[in-house]
Amino acid sequence: MKHFLFLLGALCSTATLVGQTDTQLYDIINNISAKRIQNDVTTLANFGTRHTLSDTISETRGIGAARRWIKSEFDKIASECNNCLEVFYQKDLVKKGENSRITKDVMVVNVAAIQRGTKYPNRFIIMSGDIDSRVSDPNDYTSDAPGANDNATGMAGAMEAARVLSKYQFENSIVYLGLSGEEQGLFGGKGFAAYTKEHNWEIIGVMNNDMIGNITGVDGVVSNRDFRIFSEPVPPTETEEQRRARRFYGGEVDGISRQLARYIHKTTKTYMPEMNPIMVYRLDRFGRGGHHRPFNDAGYAGIRIMEAHENYTQQHQDIRTENGIAYGDVLEHVDFEYVKKLTAVNAINLAAMAWAPPAPKTVEIGGIVEPSAKLKWSKVEGATGYKIYWRATTSPTWDHYTYVGNKTEFTLDGIVIDNFFFGVAAIGANGHESPVVFPNAVFR
Protein backbone atom coordinates (compact mmCIF):
# COMPACT_ATOMS: atom_id res chain seq x y z
CA MET A 1 0.00 0.00 0.00
CA LYS A 2 2.95 2.27 0.53
CA HIS A 3 3.47 2.22 -3.21
CA PHE A 4 -0.01 3.47 -3.89
CA LEU A 5 0.72 6.98 -2.71
CA PHE A 6 3.90 7.01 -4.72
CA LEU A 7 1.83 6.24 -7.79
CA LEU A 8 -0.79 8.80 -6.79
CA GLY A 9 1.94 11.42 -6.51
CA ALA A 10 3.15 10.63 -9.99
CA LEU A 11 -0.35 10.68 -11.45
CA CYS A 12 -1.16 14.03 -9.91
CA SER A 13 2.14 15.36 -11.26
CA THR A 14 2.65 17.10 -7.96
CA ALA A 15 6.34 17.75 -8.43
CA THR A 16 7.08 18.11 -4.76
CA LEU A 17 5.47 14.86 -3.71
CA VAL A 18 8.03 12.09 -3.76
CA GLY A 19 6.62 8.90 -2.35
CA GLN A 20 5.35 9.82 1.06
CA THR A 21 7.61 12.77 1.65
CA ASP A 22 7.23 16.39 0.64
CA THR A 23 10.53 18.01 -0.33
CA GLN A 24 9.27 21.36 0.95
CA LEU A 25 9.58 20.02 4.49
CA TYR A 26 13.30 19.35 3.96
CA ASP A 27 13.68 22.95 2.74
CA ILE A 28 11.91 24.16 5.87
CA ILE A 29 14.30 22.16 8.09
CA ASN A 30 17.31 23.58 6.24
CA ASN A 31 16.08 27.15 6.45
CA ILE A 32 15.78 27.24 10.25
CA SER A 33 18.79 29.22 11.47
CA ALA A 34 20.67 28.48 14.70
CA LYS A 35 22.33 31.89 14.35
CA ARG A 36 19.04 33.82 14.25
CA ILE A 37 17.77 31.76 17.19
CA GLN A 38 20.94 32.59 19.11
CA ASN A 39 20.45 36.30 18.40
CA ASP A 40 16.84 36.17 19.61
CA VAL A 41 17.58 34.18 22.78
CA THR A 42 20.42 36.60 23.53
CA THR A 43 18.17 39.64 23.06
CA LEU A 44 15.52 38.10 25.32
CA ALA A 45 18.05 37.17 28.03
CA ASN A 46 19.43 40.72 27.92
CA PHE A 47 16.14 42.23 29.09
CA GLY A 48 17.51 41.37 32.54
CA THR A 49 14.30 39.88 33.86
CA ARG A 50 11.09 39.04 32.04
CA HIS A 51 9.22 38.24 35.22
CA THR A 52 5.46 38.68 34.74
CA LEU A 53 5.35 41.26 37.54
CA SER A 54 8.48 43.11 36.38
CA ASP A 55 8.84 46.64 35.00
CA THR A 56 6.76 47.48 31.91
CA ILE A 57 7.90 51.07 31.32
CA SER A 58 11.63 50.68 30.67
CA GLU A 59 12.72 50.20 27.06
CA THR A 60 15.63 47.95 28.07
CA ARG A 61 14.60 45.92 31.11
CA GLY A 62 11.54 43.95 32.14
CA ILE A 63 8.66 42.12 30.49
CA GLY A 64 7.18 45.26 28.90
CA ALA A 65 10.31 45.88 26.83
CA ALA A 66 10.52 42.17 26.01
CA ARG A 67 6.98 41.88 24.67
CA ARG A 68 7.26 45.10 22.66
CA TRP A 69 10.42 43.74 21.07
CA ILE A 70 8.74 40.38 20.29
CA LYS A 71 5.81 42.19 18.67
CA SER A 72 8.19 44.37 16.64
CA GLU A 73 9.97 41.24 15.39
CA PHE A 74 6.68 39.66 14.29
CA ASP A 75 5.78 42.99 12.61
CA LYS A 76 9.11 42.93 10.80
CA ILE A 77 8.49 39.35 9.60
CA ALA A 78 5.03 40.45 8.43
CA SER A 79 6.45 43.38 6.48
CA GLU A 80 8.66 40.91 4.60
CA CYS A 81 5.77 38.65 3.54
CA ASN A 82 3.27 41.21 2.26
CA ASN A 83 1.68 41.49 5.72
CA CYS A 84 0.99 37.76 5.91
CA LEU A 85 0.92 37.90 9.74
CA GLU A 86 -1.80 39.42 11.89
CA VAL A 87 0.16 40.54 14.94
CA PHE A 88 -1.58 41.56 18.16
CA TYR A 89 -1.49 41.62 21.95
CA GLN A 90 -4.03 39.54 23.83
CA LYS A 91 -4.31 40.55 27.47
CA ASP A 92 -6.18 39.94 30.69
CA LEU A 93 -6.01 41.66 34.04
CA VAL A 94 -5.08 39.26 36.85
CA LYS A 95 -5.96 40.62 40.29
CA LYS A 96 -3.64 40.60 43.29
CA GLY A 97 -4.17 37.51 45.43
CA GLU A 98 -5.51 35.34 42.56
CA ASN A 99 -2.86 32.98 43.95
CA SER A 100 0.21 33.44 46.17
CA ARG A 101 2.37 34.32 43.15
CA ILE A 102 0.27 37.31 42.12
CA THR A 103 1.39 39.90 44.65
CA LYS A 104 -0.06 42.88 42.78
CA ASP A 105 -2.62 43.51 40.02
CA VAL A 106 -0.97 42.69 36.72
CA MET A 107 -1.89 42.79 33.05
CA VAL A 108 -0.85 39.43 31.62
CA VAL A 109 -0.01 40.19 27.99
CA ASN A 110 0.51 37.59 25.25
CA VAL A 111 1.85 38.31 21.76
CA ALA A 112 0.23 36.45 18.86
CA ALA A 113 0.95 36.31 15.13
CA ILE A 114 -1.58 34.60 12.88
CA GLN A 115 -0.63 33.38 9.43
CA ARG A 116 -4.10 33.04 7.95
CA GLY A 117 -4.98 29.84 6.10
CA THR A 118 -6.21 30.16 2.52
CA LYS A 119 -8.81 27.42 2.66
CA TYR A 120 -9.67 26.96 6.34
CA PRO A 121 -9.00 30.38 7.89
CA ASN A 122 -10.80 29.50 11.12
CA ARG A 123 -8.81 26.30 11.79
CA PHE A 124 -5.64 26.90 13.79
CA ILE A 125 -2.49 25.01 14.64
CA ILE A 126 -0.58 26.81 17.38
CA MET A 127 3.12 26.87 18.30
CA SER A 128 3.75 28.52 21.65
CA GLY A 129 6.69 29.58 23.81
CA ASP A 130 6.82 31.74 26.92
CA ILE A 131 7.87 35.34 27.38
CA ASP A 132 8.26 35.31 31.18
CA SER A 133 11.13 34.13 33.40
CA ARG A 134 11.92 33.72 37.10
CA VAL A 135 14.66 33.10 39.69
CA SER A 136 14.67 30.97 42.88
CA ASP A 137 11.91 32.93 44.58
CA PRO A 138 8.94 32.89 42.19
CA ASN A 139 7.81 36.27 43.46
CA ASP A 140 11.16 38.04 43.01
CA TYR A 141 10.51 40.29 40.01
CA THR A 142 13.61 42.49 40.16
CA SER A 143 16.64 40.16 40.28
CA ASP A 144 18.29 39.12 37.02
CA ALA A 145 16.34 36.23 35.51
CA PRO A 146 17.73 35.74 32.00
CA GLY A 147 15.56 32.65 31.43
CA ALA A 148 17.77 31.76 28.49
CA ASN A 149 16.58 28.18 28.26
CA ASP A 150 13.34 28.65 30.27
CA ASN A 151 11.89 29.87 28.11
CA ALA A 152 13.61 32.23 25.70
CA THR A 153 14.35 29.11 23.63
CA GLY A 154 10.66 28.30 23.10
CA MET A 155 9.89 31.94 22.32
CA ALA A 156 12.78 32.26 19.88
CA GLY A 157 11.72 28.98 18.26
CA ALA A 158 8.23 30.36 17.59
CA MET A 159 9.71 33.54 16.07
CA GLU A 160 12.11 31.57 13.87
CA ALA A 161 9.34 29.23 12.71
CA ALA A 162 7.36 32.34 11.71
CA ARG A 163 10.31 33.66 9.69
CA VAL A 164 10.68 30.43 7.74
CA LEU A 165 7.03 29.42 7.32
CA SER A 166 5.89 32.92 6.33
CA LYS A 167 7.54 32.22 2.95
CA TYR A 168 4.83 29.62 2.27
CA GLN A 169 1.05 29.60 2.04
CA PHE A 170 -1.03 27.14 4.01
CA GLU A 171 -4.60 25.95 3.88
CA ASN A 172 -5.07 26.16 7.65
CA SER A 173 -4.04 29.04 9.88
CA ILE A 174 -0.84 28.92 11.93
CA VAL A 175 -0.42 30.86 15.17
CA TYR A 176 3.01 31.78 16.55
CA LEU A 177 2.40 32.60 20.16
CA GLY A 178 4.34 34.16 23.04
CA LEU A 179 2.61 33.55 26.37
CA SER A 180 3.16 35.35 29.68
CA GLY A 181 2.35 34.48 33.28
CA GLU A 182 3.54 30.88 32.94
CA GLU A 183 5.65 30.86 36.09
CA GLN A 184 2.93 32.64 38.10
CA GLY A 185 0.22 30.03 37.39
CA LEU A 186 -0.26 29.46 33.62
CA PHE A 187 -2.27 32.68 33.27
CA GLY A 188 -1.29 33.53 29.70
CA GLY A 189 -2.39 30.17 28.35
CA LYS A 190 -5.63 30.38 30.29
CA GLY A 191 -6.32 33.82 28.83
CA PHE A 192 -5.48 32.84 25.29
CA ALA A 193 -7.53 29.63 25.43
CA ALA A 194 -10.51 31.71 26.59
CA TYR A 195 -9.89 34.18 23.74
CA THR A 196 -10.01 31.35 21.18
CA LYS A 197 -13.30 30.09 22.65
CA GLU A 198 -14.84 33.57 22.48
CA HIS A 199 -13.81 33.83 18.84
CA ASN A 200 -15.00 30.31 17.99
CA TRP A 201 -11.63 29.13 16.77
CA GLU A 202 -11.36 25.54 15.68
CA ILE A 203 -8.08 24.33 17.19
CA ILE A 204 -6.22 21.52 15.44
CA GLY A 205 -3.68 21.39 18.24
CA VAL A 206 -1.26 23.32 20.43
CA MET A 207 2.46 22.57 20.35
CA ASN A 208 3.84 24.16 23.48
CA ASN A 209 7.60 24.52 23.64
CA ASP A 210 9.11 24.94 27.06
CA MET A 211 12.87 24.52 27.47
CA ILE A 212 14.20 23.28 24.15
CA GLY A 213 17.87 24.21 24.55
CA ASN A 214 19.64 22.09 27.16
CA ILE A 215 21.51 18.96 26.07
CA THR A 216 23.47 18.14 29.26
CA GLY A 217 21.33 16.55 31.92
CA VAL A 218 21.82 16.93 35.64
CA ASP A 219 22.55 13.18 35.59
CA GLY A 220 25.45 13.69 33.17
CA VAL A 221 23.66 12.34 30.10
CA VAL A 222 24.44 14.40 27.01
CA SER A 223 22.33 14.14 23.88
CA ASN A 224 21.52 16.62 21.15
CA ARG A 225 19.07 14.21 19.53
CA ASP A 226 16.72 13.13 22.30
CA PHE A 227 13.64 15.19 23.08
CA ARG A 228 10.33 14.61 24.82
CA ILE A 229 6.71 14.97 23.72
CA PHE A 230 4.41 15.05 26.75
CA SER A 231 0.72 14.28 26.21
CA GLU A 232 -2.10 13.51 28.58
CA PRO A 233 -4.06 10.26 28.01
CA VAL A 234 -7.61 11.58 27.59
CA PRO A 235 -9.16 15.06 27.76
CA PRO A 236 -10.11 16.28 31.25
CA THR A 237 -13.36 17.47 29.67
CA GLU A 238 -14.61 13.99 28.80
CA THR A 239 -18.11 13.11 29.97
CA GLU A 240 -19.09 10.33 32.32
CA GLU A 241 -20.65 8.58 29.34
CA GLN A 242 -17.39 8.75 27.38
CA ARG A 243 -15.49 7.47 30.41
CA ARG A 244 -17.85 4.52 30.67
CA ALA A 245 -17.55 3.77 26.94
CA ARG A 246 -13.76 3.66 27.21
CA ARG A 247 -14.03 0.75 29.60
CA PHE A 248 -15.64 -1.41 26.96
CA TYR A 249 -14.32 -0.02 23.67
CA GLY A 250 -10.87 1.28 24.63
CA GLY A 251 -9.25 4.68 24.25
CA GLU A 252 -7.37 4.96 27.55
CA VAL A 253 -4.21 5.85 25.64
CA ASP A 254 -5.90 7.42 22.61
CA GLY A 255 -7.10 10.91 23.54
CA ILE A 256 -6.75 13.81 21.09
CA SER A 257 -3.52 15.07 22.65
CA ARG A 258 -1.98 11.62 22.38
CA GLN A 259 -2.88 11.52 18.66
CA LEU A 260 -1.14 14.88 18.25
CA ALA A 261 1.92 13.46 20.03
CA ARG A 262 1.92 10.44 17.68
CA TYR A 263 1.61 12.73 14.67
CA ILE A 264 4.67 14.73 15.74
CA HIS A 265 6.57 11.53 16.53
CA LYS A 266 5.81 10.15 13.07
CA THR A 267 6.60 13.34 11.13
CA THR A 268 9.90 13.65 13.00
CA LYS A 269 10.85 10.02 12.33
CA THR A 270 10.02 10.49 8.64
CA TYR A 271 11.77 13.79 7.95
CA MET A 272 14.42 13.98 10.69
CA PRO A 273 15.31 10.32 11.26
CA GLU A 274 18.46 11.31 13.13
CA MET A 275 16.30 12.67 15.96
CA ASN A 276 14.99 10.61 18.84
CA PRO A 277 11.51 11.79 19.83
CA ILE A 278 10.45 10.23 23.14
CA MET A 279 6.72 10.17 23.76
CA VAL A 280 5.99 10.48 27.46
CA TYR A 281 2.55 9.25 28.43
CA ARG A 282 1.73 11.93 30.95
CA LEU A 283 0.48 15.52 30.96
CA ASP A 284 3.86 16.92 31.98
CA ARG A 285 6.84 16.18 34.22
CA PHE A 286 5.91 14.64 37.59
CA GLY A 287 3.88 17.20 39.51
CA ARG A 288 5.03 20.07 37.30
CA GLY A 289 3.23 22.26 34.82
CA GLY A 290 3.36 23.92 31.44
CA HIS A 291 1.35 26.13 29.15
CA HIS A 292 -0.28 23.37 27.11
CA ARG A 293 -2.40 22.49 30.16
CA PRO A 294 -4.85 25.43 30.00
CA PHE A 295 -5.54 24.45 26.38
CA ASN A 296 -6.14 20.85 27.46
CA ASP A 297 -8.46 22.18 30.17
CA ALA A 298 -10.44 23.93 27.41
CA GLY A 299 -10.83 20.58 25.60
CA TYR A 300 -8.14 21.14 22.95
CA ALA A 301 -5.39 18.79 21.81
CA GLY A 302 -2.12 20.10 23.21
CA ILE A 303 1.32 18.70 23.96
CA ARG A 304 4.63 19.87 25.39
CA ILE A 305 7.83 19.62 23.38
CA MET A 306 10.91 19.68 25.59
CA GLU A 307 14.55 18.69 25.94
CA ALA A 308 14.99 15.13 27.23
CA HIS A 309 17.73 15.85 29.76
CA GLU A 310 17.01 18.68 32.19
CA ASN A 311 19.50 20.41 34.44
CA TYR A 312 17.82 21.66 37.58
CA THR A 313 20.76 23.83 38.61
CA GLN A 314 20.08 25.90 35.49
CA GLN A 315 16.38 26.61 35.81
CA HIS A 316 14.46 28.79 38.28
CA GLN A 317 17.75 29.69 40.03
CA ASP A 318 19.40 32.84 41.30
CA ILE A 319 22.62 33.33 39.36
CA ARG A 320 25.42 32.31 41.73
CA THR A 321 28.23 29.85 42.29
CA GLU A 322 27.84 27.46 45.19
CA ASN A 323 30.13 24.52 46.01
CA GLY A 324 31.70 24.91 42.60
CA ILE A 325 28.35 24.66 40.77
CA ALA A 326 27.36 27.57 38.50
CA TYR A 327 23.63 28.09 39.06
CA GLY A 328 21.36 30.09 36.80
CA ASP A 329 19.54 29.96 33.49
CA VAL A 330 22.19 31.77 31.48
CA LEU A 331 23.09 31.84 27.77
CA GLU A 332 26.22 29.73 28.20
CA HIS A 333 24.13 26.63 28.89
CA VAL A 334 21.99 26.83 25.74
CA ASP A 335 22.91 24.69 22.74
CA PHE A 336 21.60 26.69 19.78
CA GLU A 337 22.05 23.90 17.23
CA TYR A 338 19.74 21.80 19.40
CA VAL A 339 17.17 24.62 19.63
CA LYS A 340 17.34 24.76 15.85
CA LYS A 341 16.55 21.04 15.60
CA LEU A 342 13.55 21.24 17.91
CA THR A 343 12.36 24.37 16.11
CA ALA A 344 12.56 22.39 12.88
CA VAL A 345 10.50 19.62 14.50
CA ASN A 346 7.83 22.22 15.23
CA ALA A 347 8.04 23.84 11.80
CA ILE A 348 7.58 20.63 9.79
CA ASN A 349 4.64 19.60 11.95
CA LEU A 350 3.04 23.04 11.69
CA ALA A 351 3.47 22.87 7.91
CA ALA A 352 2.23 19.29 7.57
CA MET A 353 -0.90 19.93 9.63
CA ALA A 354 -1.52 23.32 8.03
CA TRP A 355 -1.35 21.71 4.57
CA ALA A 356 -3.61 18.80 5.56
CA PRO A 357 -7.39 18.57 5.30
CA PRO A 358 -9.45 18.46 8.51
CA ALA A 359 -9.73 15.10 10.27
CA PRO A 360 -13.04 13.22 9.96
CA LYS A 361 -15.45 14.45 12.63
CA THR A 362 -16.93 11.05 13.35
CA VAL A 363 -15.33 7.64 13.03
CA GLU A 364 -17.47 4.59 13.76
CA ILE A 365 -16.18 1.10 14.29
CA GLY A 366 -17.92 -2.27 14.01
CA GLY A 367 -17.09 -5.95 13.77
CA ILE A 368 -18.03 -7.40 17.16
CA VAL A 369 -17.97 -11.25 16.97
CA GLU A 370 -17.06 -11.04 13.28
CA PRO A 371 -13.84 -11.99 11.48
CA SER A 372 -13.16 -8.47 10.17
CA ALA A 373 -13.09 -4.98 11.64
CA LYS A 374 -15.19 -2.35 9.84
CA LEU A 375 -14.86 1.41 9.87
CA LYS A 376 -17.15 4.21 8.69
CA TRP A 377 -16.37 7.89 8.87
CA SER A 378 -17.78 11.28 7.98
CA LYS A 379 -16.71 12.67 4.63
CA VAL A 380 -14.17 15.50 4.80
CA GLU A 381 -14.55 18.36 2.34
CA GLY A 382 -11.13 18.80 0.77
CA ALA A 383 -9.85 15.29 1.44
CA THR A 384 -8.98 13.14 -1.57
CA GLY A 385 -8.55 9.94 0.38
CA TYR A 386 -8.26 8.31 3.79
CA LYS A 387 -5.90 6.04 5.64
CA ILE A 388 -7.01 3.47 8.16
CA TYR A 389 -4.39 2.95 10.81
CA TRP A 390 -4.14 0.15 13.32
CA ARG A 391 -1.71 -1.14 15.89
CA ALA A 392 -1.31 -3.82 18.53
CA THR A 393 -2.97 -2.71 21.78
CA THR A 394 0.42 -2.50 23.52
CA SER A 395 2.14 -0.44 20.80
CA PRO A 396 2.63 3.30 21.27
CA THR A 397 2.66 4.08 17.53
CA TRP A 398 0.30 3.55 14.58
CA ASP A 399 2.36 0.77 13.03
CA HIS A 400 0.05 -0.39 10.23
CA TYR A 401 -2.07 1.41 7.69
CA THR A 402 -3.90 0.97 4.46
CA TYR A 403 -4.76 3.75 2.03
CA VAL A 404 -8.37 3.21 1.02
CA GLY A 405 -8.91 6.04 -1.48
CA ASN A 406 -11.90 8.34 -1.49
CA LYS A 407 -14.33 6.13 0.45
CA THR A 408 -16.17 6.63 3.72
CA GLU A 409 -16.29 3.00 4.83
CA PHE A 410 -13.98 0.04 4.70
CA THR A 411 -13.68 -3.53 5.96
CA LEU A 412 -10.28 -4.77 7.07
CA ASP A 413 -10.51 -8.40 5.96
CA GLY A 414 -9.30 -10.84 8.58
CA ILE A 415 -8.27 -8.18 11.07
CA VAL A 416 -10.10 -9.03 14.29
CA ILE A 417 -11.39 -5.97 16.14
CA ASP A 418 -10.44 -7.35 19.58
CA ASN A 419 -6.71 -7.51 18.97
CA PHE A 420 -5.89 -4.02 17.71
CA PHE A 421 -6.68 -0.36 18.10
CA PHE A 422 -7.86 1.49 14.98
CA GLY A 423 -8.11 5.04 13.68
CA VAL A 424 -8.75 7.05 10.49
CA ALA A 425 -6.90 10.04 8.98
CA ALA A 426 -7.93 12.25 6.04
CA ILE A 427 -5.41 12.80 3.22
CA GLY A 428 -5.16 15.81 0.90
CA ALA A 429 -4.18 15.91 -2.80
CA ASN A 430 -0.72 17.07 -1.68
CA GLY A 431 -0.26 13.90 0.39
CA HIS A 432 -0.45 15.64 3.76
CA GLU A 433 -2.67 14.05 6.35
CA SER A 434 -4.69 14.99 9.39
CA PRO A 435 -4.02 13.58 12.84
CA VAL A 436 -5.59 10.15 13.37
CA VAL A 437 -9.09 10.04 14.83
CA PHE A 438 -9.80 7.23 17.27
CA PRO A 439 -13.34 5.84 16.79
CA ASN A 440 -15.93 7.90 18.65
CA ALA A 441 -18.92 5.67 17.92
CA VAL A 442 -19.70 1.96 17.57
CA PHE A 443 -22.03 0.27 15.09
CA ARG A 444 -23.29 -3.32 14.86
The residues that touch Zn ion, with contacts defined as CB under 5 A, are 150
Query: Which residues, including other chains, have CB under 8 Å from residue 418's CB and lie 6 or more apart?
Result: none
CB 260, min distance to Zn ion, A: 22
- Residue 150 or 160: which CB sits closer to Zn ion? 150
Q: Please count the residues of the chain.
A: 444
Q: What is the dihedral of CA 30, 212, 59, 64, to 10 degrees?
A: 120
- Residue 317 or 349: which CB sits closer to Zn ion? 317
Query: Which residues, including other chains, have CB under 8 Å from residue 333's CB and lie 6 or more apart?
Result: 148, 149, 213, 214, 216, 311, 314
- Residue 40 or 150: which CB sits closer to Zn ion? 150
CB 123, min distance to Zn ion, A: 30
Which DSSP symbol is given to 191? H
CB 150, min distance to Zn ion, A: 4
Strands 85-94 and 106-115: antiparallel
- Residue 150 or 254: which CB sits closer to Zn ion? 150
The Cα angle at residue 326 between residues 324 and 331, in degrees rounded to 5: 155
- Residue 139 or 276: which CB sits closer to Zn ion? 139
- Residue 73 or 150: which CB sits closer to Zn ion? 150
- Residue 144 or 150: which CB sits closer to Zn ion? 150
CB 315, min distance to Zn ion, A: 6
CB 52, min distance to Zn ion, A: 12
Distance CA 367, CA 233 (A): 25
Strands 202-209 and 226-230: unpaired
CB 101, min distance to Zn ion, A: 12
Cα–Cα distances (Å) from 401 to 286, 412, 421, in that order, read: 34, 10, 12
Distance CA 298, CA 438 (A): 20
Number of H helices, E strands in the chain: 10, 19
**Which residue is nearest to Zn ion, using beta carbons?**
150
CB 313, min distance to Zn ion, A: 14
